[in-house]
Amino acid sequence: MANIQNNNSAFVAYTSRDRFLANLISEGVAKANRKLNNLRYEPWEFNDTAGNLLISPVVDAIDQSCFIVADITYLNPNVVYEIGFSIGRSRRCFLVRHTGTDGDKKIARDVGIFDTLGFEPYETADELTNTLTAYVDPAPLPFSAQLDRRAPVYVVEPPTKGGIATVMTSRLKKARYKYRSFNPAEDARLSAFDAIRQVASSAGVMVSLLDGLSEESIIHNTRALFVAGLSYGMGKPTLLLAHATADVPLDVRDSVRTFTRPDDIVTHIASFSLEVTEHLQQADPAPLCHPTSLQSLQIGDPTAENEMTTLANYFLNTDQYSRALRGEVNLVVGRKGAGKTALFIQVRDKTRSDKRNVVVDLKPEGYQLLKLKEDILAHLTQGANHHLVTAFWEYLILLEITYKLLEKDRGQYKFNHEIRDLYINLERTYRVNDFSVEGDFSERLLSLSQRIAQDYVCRFGGTDSTKLTTGQVTELVYSHDVRSLRDQVSAYLAHKGGVWVLFDNLDKGWSTQGVDTVDAMVLRCLIDAGRKIERDMRKSGHAVHCIVFVRNDVYEHLMRQSSDYGKEMRVALDWTDPDMLRELLRLRLVSALGPEYENMTFEQIWPRLCVSHYKGEETSSYVIERALMRPRNVIKIFSHAKGFAANLNHQKIEETDLEKGVRAYSQDLLVELDHELNDVFPIARELLYHFLDSQPEMSPLELRQIISQAQISSEDTDRVIDFLLYYGIVGVRASPDEVYYIFNVNYDLKILQIRAARGGENTGYVMNSAFRPALGIKSCD
């Protein structure tokens, strides 16, 4: 890499979509060049012009520049790619934005990358000139290039799952590569720091571009192009997929791999896998020279799926985990970010460590059942629906147990006389003509639900209020002789230990228009089918445990009308003790810092990494108070603040770093909670944005006025207020010095409702401080 200190030019990237803005930038750059003697800005004015071979000059200009200036008023796809490419090339990327133009401000807010990088505002050409002629530090963002060899591939997943997305991830699994991912269902926004870290530690990066001009597609493509730019800039094997009809940005037109059918993706991933293998065989690059303690500190990922290989090093063993591990529960419920998936992973890995156990870990998503829901469940009576879906889940669980048994003993049944004949008979029964055994669980589930839907339409034509007999359900759902299969599985399990069937993710793919009664029934039937499998197998002396992991807000709102509500054996991942969150963070810090810190308390470790107080408040309390008592949020706030401190070469997180980190996290939280509210209460869409510039404390009348401005009817206002209280967005002031949020009352909404009712019109509703920076609300503290 050339020594950037010797370069005397800076590359300027911007869009020509807005001629006024393009002329203003050209004028500002020209004036800056007339004032400067030792630096020249080179604008790239034609990066929107089709028909020219542009990427080579762009790459050359970036490589020859001491830093890059990019205007992000509009998120031009080519400019976004060039920003990522520049960072990957270890070039400082200096972002600017025109304050008088809305441009793509809303898209940028939802994407999440650019506010975590930071930008300089300007309004006139002279202001831009002043910014460009001031000193610009050319030092690039530091990042470690140490490869994650246990999960070497990074994937940016599309917002809506479907057949193509399933093929992408399932084929990656068949290549036996564990991967980390950005999943918009888990994280509403992508942090630039996280994207850089993930790409830098990868031996391969896989992203896809969506066709169309919907806001959802633009947001995804912006993230994908930034990550692709990082990956190409760092020289990583990169698979950039797009449909053959997609309008691909010019900068990546020669790099993209197109497809028209799933088999094309399979071919591309086959080639990509070989490139990843070759990259992994290279020696790790030299680590950062003299990094600060913060720059080298890695405390894990806020998303548990991305730390499957390291989670055991710092997992906090809670009572909920112990009960699940003992098989005492069939439901684990928790709010988003409370640690359900982390507990799922630990239960799976702990039980799987005993080779006698059979562990079936399943992650169905709502979209895989969409065909079933649209073509069948919308036309059946309630009783027929329940009957069919319970049979569907029971059948699927039995098939997956069978699949796991056959997979587990495939290499040894020939040498074990006790199971040889059992294995051969079981495999013969399992493999039938009308059932696909290829692919991973996602593909098998999708194939099964589509096959049942197609058979139903052929037989019954989608008639409303159809009543199905038991025999008709059996013919429609089963491709196997289920009684024979169940008996053979039972005989086989006599030579095994316990069976653990773990379900996670079912609520991830549910419609953005909100969950409905059919979704409730699907969840109810899954629980019933799991219980039935447990009872039937236990009659034969087999220990079978079926555990479903689901968001507790979805569970409570969907299951409240069920006659069995509250009767399930369940645990709730509700965090109420701040010291537990400190211990969770301490374990991660100890794992990252080394064994010499193992016996240190949190109070001993924390001041070494973070300033002790922020505006008079102890900083760990400041962080936890804004985390809504969710482990993921604690990790997010710390990671954001650490990222800002590391970029400025600070030895510890300073007050300004913490303030910037909380502001970035607040924007993440605003987008995430808006989506989360919409999942279970669609009429509340974008409600939170109506609190912009409001007061930190509101009377009941003021709160109702804001809700009314969101076009929510008066009949629904009380329900919306309950939601705001339930999610911890607002709390109830009980005294001048005391405010109660949902996590302060053991997540009992009734307590907050009663306190609010007692106060009447004198009740004070207080906006949680976590949301105030993003909403422009000044604290009254």
Q: Which strands make up the sheet holding 570-573, listed edge to edge?
A: 358-362, 499-503, 544-551, 331-334, 570-573
- 243 pLDDT above the threshold of 50: yes
Region of poorest pLDDT, from 145-159, 198-212, 291-305, 308-322:
291-305
Q: What Å distances lie between residue 98 and 13, 71, 102, 134, 261, CA to CA?
A: 14, 8, 8, 18, 42
Q: How far apart are CA 623 and CA 638, in angstroms?
A: 8
Instruction: Output the pLDDT for position 515.
Output: 63
For residues 528-550, give the mean pLDDT: 91
Instruction: Output the pLDDT for position 699.
Output: 94
- 696 pLDDT above the threshold of 90: yes
Region of poorest pLDDT, from 17-31, 377-391, 574-588:
377-391
Region of poorest pLDDT, from 12-21, 72-81, 214-223, 305-314:
12-21
Listed in order, strand segments (DSSP E) in 634-746 are 697-698, 730-735, 738-740
> For residues 143 and 93, is the Cβ–Cβ distance under 8 A?
no
Question: Mind listing the pLDDT tens digit for each residue in 90-146?
Answer: 988 999 999 989 899 889 988 988 887 878 899 999 999 999 998 888 888 888 778
Q: How far apart are CA 82 and CA 693, in angstroms?
A: 35
Crossing angle of helices 163-174 and 441-460, rounded to 10°: 140
Instruction: Output the pLDDT for position 627.
Output: 95
Give the chain's mean pLDDT: 85
Instruction: Output the pLDDT for position 582.
Output: 96
Q: Which residue has the higher pLDDT, 261 or 375?
A: 261
Question: Mind listing the pLDDT tens digit for each residue in 322-338?
Answer: 999 999 998 999 888 89
Q: How far apart are CA 658 and CA 653, in angstroms?
A: 7
Instruction: Output the pLDDT for position 460.
Output: 76
Closest listed residue to residue 546, CA positions, set 556, 532, 558: 532
Closest listed residue to residue 262, CA positions, set 382, 143, 166: 166
Instruction: Output the pLDDT for position 11.
Output: 79
Q: Which residue has the higher pLDDT, 40 or 679?
A: 40
Q: How far apart are CA 229 and CA 251, in angstroms?
A: 10
Percent of the chain with pLDDT over 70: 90
Region of poorest pLDDT, from 205-219, 373-387, 575-589, 632-646:
373-387
- 549 pLDDT above the threshold of 50: yes
Instruction: Output the pLDDT for position 3.
Output: 32
Listed in order, strand segments (DSSP E) in 336-426 are 358-362
Instruction: Output the pLDDT for position 464.
Output: 60
Instruction: Output the pLDDT for position 751.
Output: 94
What's the half-sphere exposure (Cβ side, CA atoms, 13 Å) at 17? 15
Amino acid letter, 260: T
Q: Tell me which H or E stretch contains 182.
A: strand 179-182
When mean pLDDT is compared over 134-143, 268-277, 766-775, the highest value belongs to 766-775
- 525 pLDDT above the threshold of 60: yes
Q: Which pairs count as long-range contacts for 382-388, CB under 8 Å and 24+ apart, including other chains?
A: 382/521, 383/467, 384/466, 384/467, 384/468, 384/473, 385/518, 385/521, 386/521, 386/524, 386/525, 387/468, 387/470, 387/473, 388/468, 388/473, 388/476, 388/477
Question: Mind listing the pLDDT tens digit for each residue in 652-682?
Answer: 999 999 999 999 999 999 988 887 777 667 7
For residues 227-236, give the mean pLDDT: 94
Amino acid letter, 540: S
Question: Mind listing the pLDDT tens digit for each residue in 710-742?
Answer: 888 888 899 889 989 988 999 999 888 889 999
Instruction: Output the pLDDT for position 512.
Output: 43
Q: Which residue has the higher pLDDT, 14 or 366?
A: 14
Instruction: Output the pLDDT for position 462.
Output: 59
What single DSSP character describes residue 272?
H
Q: Tell me which H or E stretch contains 614.
A: strand 613-614
Q: What Å distances lie between residue 102 and 24, 115, 531, CA to CA?
A: 16, 15, 54
Neighbours of 168 (CB within 10 A): 23
Q: Is the dihedral of CA 593, 596, 599, 601 positive or negative?
A: negative
pLDDT-derived band at 465, boundaries 50, 70, 90: low
Q: Residues 179-191, buried b or exposed e (16+ Cβ, 10 A)? A: bbbbbbbbbbbbb
- 53 pLDDT above the threshold of 60: no
Question: Mind listing the pLDDT tens digit for each residue in 343-364?
Answer: 999 999 999 999 999 999 988 7
> For residues 195 and 641, is the Cβ–Cβ distance under 8 A?
no
* Proportion of the chain in helix, strand, coil states, percent, rounded to 5: 50, 10, 35
What single DSSP character describes residue 376?
I
